[in-house]
Every structure is written in C-alpha cells, then in structure tokens.
Amino acid sequence: MNAMNLLPLQITGALTVLVVALALWARKGDGAQAAVRRAVLALDRISSGAASALACAALALAVGAGMWQVVARFATETPSIWSEALVRTALIWMAYLGVAVALRTGALVSIDVAHRYASGRLRLGIEAAALASSLSFMGVMFWFGWTMTQRVRFQEMAGLEVSMSWGYAAIPIGALFAMVGAVAHFLDRRSDELELAV
C-alpha cells in the first residue's frame, strides 16, 4: 500500500480514536461533559433535520423527474434527455443523506442480541465499537469522496450539462452528516429498532 492511500487511513483512524474518547468522556458526566453533550445534540438536531429534509426533497425531485420521463416518452413520444440523469443524481443524494438519519436512529449499525443481553461496561464497549466502526467508515468515505469530487469537477453529466462534482459531492457531505448522527446516537440513544427487536 503506497503512502498516498495510507495517509487517509491513518488520519481517519487517529480522528476516530479521538472522537470516540471524547464521546465516552462526554457521555458520563456533568459540568463540561454535559455542555459538550448538549452542544453535539444541538448540532445534531440541526444536521439531522436538514439531512432528513434534503433527503425527502431529493426523493420528491427523483419522483417528479421520473414521472416527467414517463410522460415525455409515452405521451408526447419525445423522451427527455435530462430526466434520467436527474433521477440518478437525486437518488444518490437521497441515499447518502438518508444514511445520516439511519445512523442517528440506530438503524444502520446495530448489534441487537449483543446489545440486549449486555450490560454495564460490556454494553458501553459494544456501543463504542459500533461508533468507532461507523466513524471509521464515514471518515474513509469523506476522504475519498472529497478526492473524487475534486477529480471530476471538470467533467459534465450527460443530459444535465453540470459538473459531475454535484453528484459526487453527496459522498463527503452525506458522510459529514452521518458522523454527527453517529456521535449523537452514542450520546443519546433513542433507538426503537433495538428496543422492539425480538
């Protein structure tokens, strides 16, 4: 593995360890720890709400463009050249923004049986390992997503005639939203999925 690919992994690993340690510290106390916890949860309310609203808007845009494609193709017999690319791009944005909402609710990385039957330090360890896994993965997605966004900025999407960066930008932006959601879920677990699992 060359140094160019190793550096992002080293930085992501170090930042993951740092954020997990900070989250563990903020989770178990009052005073400064509670202030950090409140600040992260306040940021999460804004970011999760924005991610959810934008993901819903992207889905609505995809549905509208898809409907137009069907009408244009079969009703007017003049297929639209832009709608397929718009549907694809909107669905990519919806999926990457939806990951943040899934992580916040605990629906993405959940170890139901282990979490249910564990208690005390073991449960905390399982939750910290899940947080570290999510942060590591999202960190790698952010780094390489940003690299790809920069790399394709001079290419155009066929049919839309806009930079391909608009499509690829969903990866690093979705990863940032998801990282906030993962930390917020660790600090304030409100997972119906885990509680209702059989």
Q: How many residues does the chain have?
A: 198
Q: Summarize pLDDT for 6-29 with one digit per residue, the tens.
A: 888 888 899 999 999 999 898 887
Which of residues 159 and 177 earns the better pLDDT score?
Answer: 177
Choose the weakest-confidence range: 9-13, 79-83, 184-188, 190-194. 190-194
Q: What is the pLDDT of residue 127?
A: 84
Report the distance separating Cα 9 and Cα 65, nearest Å: 38
C-alpha distances out from residue 17 to 10, 175, 176, Å = 11, 17, 17
Q: What is the CA radius of gyration of the chain?
A: 20
Q: Summarize pLDDT for 109-150 with one digit per residue, the tens.
A: 566 666 677 778 888 888 888 899 999 999 999 999 999 999
Long-range CB contact pairs, 5-8, < 8 A, 24+? 8/140, 8/143, 8/144
Q: Is residue 156 classed as helix, strand or coil in its secondary structure?
A: strand
Return the residue matching tokens 């499509």.
167
Give the range of the structural domain holding residue 70, as residue numbers without chain letter.
Answer: 3-196
- pLDDT band at residue 65, thresholds of 50, 70 and 90? very high
- pLDDT band at residue 198, thresholds of 50, 70 and 90? very low
Return the residue matching tokens 């819903």.
56
Helices (H), the chain: 3-27, 32-70, 83-105, 112-117, 120-151, 165-168, 170-187, 192-196
- What does pTM read for this prediction? 0.84
DSSP character for 72?
A: I
Q: Is the pLDDT of residue 197 over 70?
A: no
Return the residue matching tokens 């999460």.
44
Q: Is residue 153 classed as helix, strand or coil in its secondary structure?
A: coil
- pLDDT band at residue 64, thresholds of 50, 70 and 90? very high
Structural contact between residues 44 and 184, judged by C-beta atoms closer than 8 angstroms: yes
Q: What does the block give as tokens for 171?
A: 């990866």
Total domains present in the chain: 1
C-alpha distances out from residue 173 to 47, 57, 105, 116, Å = 11, 16, 19, 32
Q: What is the pLDDT of residue 178?
A: 94
pLDDT mean across residues, the chain: 86
Q: What is the pLDDT of residue 77?
A: 80
Report the distance separating Cα 94 and Cα 62, nearest Å: 9
Q: Is residue 163 classed as helix, strand or coil in its secondary structure?
A: strand
Which of residues 166 and 112 earns the better pLDDT score?
Answer: 166
